[in-house]
A = this chain, B = another copy of it.
Amino acid sequence: MIRLAVDLKGADRPQEELLPGVIRALQEDSSLYLYLLCDEKVISPLLSAAGADSERYEIIDSPDTVTNHDNPVEVLRKKPDSSLMKGISLCKSDPGISAFVSCGATGALFVSAIMVLGRIPHVTPALLCEIIKDDGARVCLSDCGANIDCGEDKLVTFARLAKVFMEARGRENPKIALLSNGSEDSKGNELVKKANALLRGEKGLNFIGNMEGTEVLSGEEDILVCEGFAGNILLKSLEGAAKSAVAHARKYAEALPEPARSVMLQDLHKVFLNYDYNSSGGAVLLGANTPIVKGHGSADADTLYAVLKIASDLGKNDLQQKILAEFA
């Protein structure tokens, strides 16, 4: 049985709109057991009405909600009854829970995860996300924004966390590239040059060298390692450029006769989503004592379903045990 803690509050949409994602996940995956952090009086009758098996979930009533306006550090003290804090506390008290899933406030989620759950010894937690390459394959960006300034040894940790993650996602011996301003080992800022040397010497990592921004979507890498600042610039530039190029192509689509018009518009939408990591299942914080799977704040029931599926798959693949073994 895979047990997940699921925060239904704090997202842009109300908990009852996200609930169908939970119901679908329970229906489709009989190995799932969910702890639902939500308002019991809102969610309980809806679950009963939907015929959900009450042996497969437990509602943990959480009257308070953390929002993006809350100071992440103050949340620990000020909002103990929030769905976020109750979920984190539950994971701390029960290490057998495979992951904490939330579409709520990112900053507060990660700060409380690290401060309350605690870190795996000698591991700096990293934020990982997947983007889709031209050939449809996923590439994992590690770190994509949690560690804005860090040393070269941290980049090796990010590489190893991503390696275990991608293996749990089904990729064998994943190819690891290091984001730089040129593909040669001699290229890069001081951090990247030192990280390149460390990665070249590291055992058990399939390091393929430095990679430029132009190559990310067409390259052979499974993992792209970078400091959070550079990762964030990369991710958001890709998103911005895809948005612009697709908007431009859209005007041609608008001029097409149906059904070509609808097909092209849907397809362009999909292209854009490829570069929007929020749509492709969210980001994952690894390195704390429970993995955190974060859906986008604008998530709907389908997004939550997709995020639950990822969290469940990671649980089935013993992700956290494998991380512990990697860093043992």
Contact = CB atoms under 8 A, between A and B. Distances in A.
Contact of A217 (B148, B181, B241): B241
Given A189-B148, A190-B149, A235 B213 contact: yes
Interface in A271-323: 271, 275
B215 A240 contact: yes
A168 interface: no
A38 to B, nearest CB: 29
Q: Tell me if A's interface is mostly helix, strand, loop or mixed.
A: helix
A193 to B, nearest CB: 9
Chain multiplicity (copies) = 2
A232 B181 contact: yes
Contact of A248 (B181, B244, B271): B271
B230 A229 contact: yes
Q: Which of A212, A237, A240, A260 has its CB near the most chain B CB atoms (within 10 A)?
A: A237
Interface in A216-275: 216-218, 227-230, 232-249, 252-253, 255, 260, 264, 267-268, 271, 275
A239 B238 CA distance: 9
B229 A213 contact: no
Contacts of A93: none
A214 B229 contact: no
12 contacts: A148-B188, A181-B229, A181-B232, A181-B233, A213-B234, A213-B240, A214-B239, A216-B240, A217-B243, A230-B233, A237-B237, A248-B271
Interface of A: 134, 145, 148-149, 179, 181, 188-190, 192, 212-218, 227-230, 232-249, 252-253, 255, 260, 264, 267-268, 271, 275
